[in-house]
Amino acid sequence: DAGVTQSPTHLIKTRGQQVTLRCSPKSGHDTVSWYQQALGQGPQFIFQYYEEEERQRGNFPDRFSGHQFPNYSSELNVNALLLGDSALYLCASSLHGRNTEAFFGQGTRLTVV
């Protein structure tokens, strides 16, 4: 049983470009959340998708957008990249409900130069 998989694992982009990160949830999970983790900091919540809709959103600008597909996989898109967007981007999947376990992928390391 595959866990949460993210692609790519590493990515280098130039300031002003756009990037798409991908996440496949753990088998049986229907909810995907995205987090940004700067070096030495805890993860910051970006948004959560359930039933192909954005259900919750953290304090991130509209440059950050996402999508969830019918097979529950998800994409995170970031437009007009800034140097400050350099971080580890984590995807977590879970089964919709209050006390369900969240499983994380290995993350995508994005470097903006």
Q: Name which of 46 and 81 has its Cβ closer to another protein.
A: 46
* DSSP string computed for 8-53: -SEEEE-TT--EEEEEEPPTT--EEEEEEE-TTS--EEEEEEETTE
Range 46-65, binding another protein (CB under 8 A): 48, 50, 55-56
| Contact between 107 and 90 (Cβ < 8 Å) | yes
Q: Judged by CB under 8 A, which stretch of 14-22, 35-43, 60-68, 73-81 contacts another protein? A: 35-43
Q: Report if residue 100 touches another protein, rule: CB under 8 A.
A: yes
Closer Cβ to another protein, 67 or 109, answer by number: 109
Q: Which of 19, 34, 105, 112 binds another protein (CB under 8 A)?
A: 105
Do 92 and 106 form a contact (C-beta atoms < 8 A)?
no
